[in-house]
């Protein structure tokens, strides 16, 4: 087996790994002339930081001045950007730790003991690397409900004692990991998946209801059912499952969503990392797997479980990379992999009910040069009959986006038999189109994007916000109107207006809301408003949320001490009026962490945020300056106890004295 990467799917690999989309789609639209030659200027984020340290923020006004204009929809005192071992929230707010990796969910859950971990304990405890956070109200309450949380992946160098050796390679220190034991792999599998847990606000503070009757852990060992057009396809059949409909587990659940009918959807993202081994020579899936980067072999699970070994179960990877739907009302329900929504590296699945009652899911495929999708159900949402909605996700149309240079957006259907999606091109039926959704998008001429992450519809105004996190590989001759920067180190945000405000429309318009990065460095080409302060700008948008007031909040993945001089965090971004494209820092994470969630309760009085992989890094932070691993962590957030590792955690942010978040 190949050696595991200690960093797994963290930003380092994503930023520098191979681009998968080798299709020859022309980049769309006119080439936008760049005002500055970037040659020699942008050698990545490190170079930019060096420049920004010497250039004053000439283009920036103070936040107070911006507020004096009365334009911003937000009125909180901005957090100072920076890097340290702690989290920071805007003054006047409390940020309370609600759930940590290892916290008990049931009365029989063992107390978390990092020195004596077991899969049996982990499966009764909150999992690792919390990412998506959703809230499903109980009896319509904004203060009592189910919190649903994805556990995306595991970092063994931060989780397990005694497995790291520091080695020197080419004069540089590196972490070397001992091979994981079967017990450790089982712990990893139990730390993946999702948590469903009842929570309640008591005297202004959120509490976990241990033993809530709907509390549940879903893991990489939970049995799932495959449904929709690809269920039962020969390409999904394995030695262990001759029906092609029963899968063990879900992995790399990144962002997700809560459906209008109150189910929890989990997006399977970087599934390539879990597979190892070689396909039998001449196997028909070779090109399909190449397009998905399978196998990467970042995990050692194939050492102990045949299903992750391509030589033994060559069809297994076709059973991952889907959207999984969980009926949270029945803790014994079998989660369903809904194949109608296509198979790719799904970032998330935020949804909205269109005016015609159809439900629309926005889907990003997080890879350089991959695509933006949406799924429109055939059926309509019935607000009075939950049961009537339970299979809406099995029938509908998956579309892929073409962003034309004139600002037109075209949603192209991925329907077998239409256009190039025919047997001649290797698609025998709709199952094939869905299993190879990426190749279908290639053939339709979809626009190659700068890593689509979370995509958020705003039900109040018919707009949709697309987070594009970065694309260090885009070359000058590959820029297009929707991805206008070569070597896009800091990402951008696109705003979509669906035709007539109809989310189910097959056309719309688009414009760039924000090009990210330091606006005081002209060569970066960032487009924050001039009211944005030196603390307010960010790079690498990833997850996002729209609060009940319709305002946009953006969480980031990849800000760093040397890269942007700041950790990741949660930023409030104005989208309307004079303040459009003004951003303010509301919360920031401890060193090494990524900001996930975010989620606002229906009354806007709580923001839940997920702090993922704290202490994963520290070598470029002056306050630490060396490699971080279990025995020597850059932060022991949130417990700060010598015998406790850093613990990914969900944080509940409330306003002191009550009131809405963000003013």
Binding site for ligand FEO (CB under 6 A): 152, 254, 269, 347, 366, 453, 542
Pick from ligand FEO, Ca ion, none: which does 198 bind, CB < 5 to 8 A by kind?
none
Toward ligand FEO, which CB reaches closer, 342 or 536? 342
Smallest separation (angstroms) from Ca ion to the CB of 586: 16
Pick from ligand FEO, Ca ion, none: which does 188 bind, CB < 5 to 8 A by kind?
none
Task: Name the residue with tokens 């998956």.
Answer: 398
- Cis check for the bond before 295: say yes or no (omega within 30 of 0): yes
SS3 at position 430: helix
Task: Name the residue with tokens 């949380």.
Answer: 149
Smallest separation (angstroms) from ligand FEO to the CB of 612: 9
Toward ligand FEO, which CB reaches closer, 348 or 484? 348
Query: For the chain, what percentages of helix, strand and coil (3-state, to nearest 5) are there?
Result: 15, 30, 55
Q: Round to whole Å and give the CA distance between 363 and 122.
A: 30
Q: Which of 285, 542, 547, 616 binds Ca ion (CB under 5 A)?
A: 542
Alpha-carbon separation of residue 637 from 220, 612, 649 (angstroms):
26, 11, 9
The overall longest dimension of the chain from CA atoms, in Å, is 68
Smallest separation (angstroms) from Ca ion to the CB of 526: 19
Smallest separation (angstroms) from ligand FEO to the CB of 298: 14
* Contact yes or no for 363/323 (Cβ under 8 A): yes
* Cβ-Cβ contacts under 8 Å for 427 (sequence gap 6 or more): 416, 421, 433, 436, 440
557 is a contact residue toward Ca ion (CB under 5 A): yes
Q: By beta-carbon distance, which residue lies closest to Ca ion? A: 557
Q: Round to whole Å and give the CA distance between 224 and 334.
A: 6
DSSP at 382 = -
Toward ligand FEO, which CB reaches closer, 542 or 547? 542
Toward ligand FEO, which CB reaches closer, 269 or 285? 269
Smallest separation (angstroms) from Ca ion to the CB of 320: 17
Convert residues 451-490 into a mask of x (bound to Ca ion by CB under 5 A) and - (unbound).
--xx------------------------------------
Toward ligand FEO, which CB reaches closer, 269 or 450? 269
Pick from ligand FEO, Ca ion, none: which does 454 bind, CB < 5 to 8 A by kind?
Ca ion
Toward ligand FEO, which CB reaches closer, 414 or 610? 610
Q: Exposed (0-12), middle (13-18) or buried (19+): which is 54, by Cβ within 10 Å?
A: exposed
Q: Round to whole Å and give the CA distance between 589 and 651.
A: 10
Smallest separation (angstroms) from ligand FEO to the CB of 539: 15
Q: Round to whole Å and give the CA distance between 76 and 335.
A: 40
**Cα atoms in the Cβ-side hemisphere of radius 13 Å centred on 516:** 33
Q: Round to whole Å and give the CA distance between 70 and 613.
A: 37
Stretch that binds Ca ion, among 214-222, 311-319, 387-395, 542-550 (CB under 5 A): 542-550
Smallest separation (angstroms) from Ca ion to the CB of 91: 26
* Contact yes or no for 387/451 (Cβ under 8 A): no
User: Which residues are bridge partners to 168 per DSSP?
Assistant: 173
Q: Round to whole Å and give the CA distance between 579 and 583.
A: 9
Stretch that binds Ca ion, among 66-74, 225-233, 299-307, 534-542 (CB under 5 A): 534-542
Pick from ligand FEO, Ca ion, none: which does 269 bind, CB < 5 to 8 A by kind?
ligand FEO
Toward Ca ion, which CB reaches closer, 164 or 298? 298
Smallest separation (angstroms) from Ca ion to the CB of 407: 25
268 is a contact residue toward Ca ion (CB under 5 A): no
Toward ligand FEO, which CB reaches closer, 269 or 309? 269
Which residues make up the interface to Ca ion (CB under 5 A)?
254, 453-454, 542, 557
């Amino acid at each position: 087996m190949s050696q595991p990467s200690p960093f797994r799917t963290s930003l380092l690999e994503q930023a520098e790994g191979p681009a998968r989309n080798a299709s020859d789609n022309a980049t769309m639209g006119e080439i936008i002339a760049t005002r500055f030659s970037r040659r020699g200027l942008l050698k990545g984020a490190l170079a930019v930081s060096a420049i920004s340290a010497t250039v004053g923020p000439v283009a920036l006004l103070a936040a107070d001045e911006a507020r004096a204009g009365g334009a911003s929809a937000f009125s909180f005192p901005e957090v100072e950007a920076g890097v340290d071992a702690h989290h920071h929230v805007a003054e006047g707010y409390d940020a309370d730790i609600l759930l940590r990796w290892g916290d008990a969910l049931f009365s029989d859950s063992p107390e978390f003991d990092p020195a004596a971990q077991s899969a049996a304990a982990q499966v009764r405890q909150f999992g690792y690397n919390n990412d998506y956070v959703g809230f499903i109200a109980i009896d319509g309450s904004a203060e009592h409900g189910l919190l649903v949380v994805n556990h995306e992946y595991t970092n063994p160098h931060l989780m397990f004692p005694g497995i790291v050796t520091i080695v020197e390679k080419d004069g540089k220190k590196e972490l070397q990991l001992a091979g994981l034991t079967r017990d450790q792999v089982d712990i990893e599998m139990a730390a993946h998946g999702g948590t469903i847990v009842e929570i309640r606000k008591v005297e202004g503070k959120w509490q976990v209801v241990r033993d809530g009757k709907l509390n549940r852990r879903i893991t990489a060992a939970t049995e799932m059912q495959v449904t929709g057009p690809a269920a039962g396809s020969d390409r999904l059949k394995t030695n262990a499952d001759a029906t092609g409909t029963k899968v063990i587990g879900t992995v790399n659940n990144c962002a997700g969503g809560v459906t209008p009918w109150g189910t929890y959807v989990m997006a399977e993202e970087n599934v390539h990392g879990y597979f190892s081994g070689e396909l039998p020579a001449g196997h028909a899936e070779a090109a399909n797997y190449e397009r998905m980067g399978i196998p990467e072999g970042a995990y050692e699970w194939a050492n102990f479980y045949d299903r992750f070994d391509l030589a033994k179960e060559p069809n297994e990877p076709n059973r991952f990379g889907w959207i999984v739907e969980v009926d949270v009302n029945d803790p014994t329900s079998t989660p369903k992999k809904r194949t109608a929504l296509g198979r790719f590296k799904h970032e998330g699945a935020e949804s909205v009910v269109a005016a015609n009652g159809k439900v629309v899911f926005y889907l990003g495929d997080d890879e350089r040069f991959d695509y933006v999708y949406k799924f429109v159900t055939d059926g309509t949402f019935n607000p009075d009959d939950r049961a009537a909605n339970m299979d809406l996700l099995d029938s509908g149309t998956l579309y892929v986006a073409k962003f034309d240079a004139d600002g037109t957006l075209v949603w192209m259907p991925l329907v077998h038999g239409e256009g190039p999606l025919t047997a001649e091109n290797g698609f025998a039926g709709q199952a094939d189109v869905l299993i190879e959704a990426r190749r279908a998008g290639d053939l339709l001429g979809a626009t190659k994007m700068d890593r689509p992450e979370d995509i958020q519809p705003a039900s109040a105004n018919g707009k949709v916000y697309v987070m594009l996190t970065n694309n260090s590989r885009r070359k000058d001759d590959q820029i297009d109107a929707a991805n206008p920067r070569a070597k896009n180190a800091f990402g951008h945000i696109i705003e979509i207006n669906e035709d007539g405000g109809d989310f189910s429309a097959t056309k719309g318009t688009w414009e760039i809301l924000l090009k990210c990065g330091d606006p005081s460095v002209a060569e970066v080409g960032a487009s924050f408003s001039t009211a944005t302060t030196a603390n307010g700008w960010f790079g690498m948008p990833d997850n996002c949320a729209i609060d009940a007031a319709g305002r946009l909040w953006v969480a980031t993945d990849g800000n760093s001490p040397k890269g942007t001089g700041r950790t990741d965090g949660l930023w409030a971004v104005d989208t309307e009026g004079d303040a459009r494209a003004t951003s303010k820092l509301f919360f920031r994470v401890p060193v090494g962490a990524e900001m996930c969630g975010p989620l606002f309760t229906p009354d806007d009085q709580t923001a839940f945020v997920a702090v993922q992989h704290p202490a994963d890094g520290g070598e470029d932070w002056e306050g630490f300056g060396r490699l971080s691993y279990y025995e020597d962590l850059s932060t022991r957030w949130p417990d700060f106890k010598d015998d406790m590792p850093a613990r990914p955690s969900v944080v509940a942010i409330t306003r002191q004295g009550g009131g809405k978040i963000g003013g």
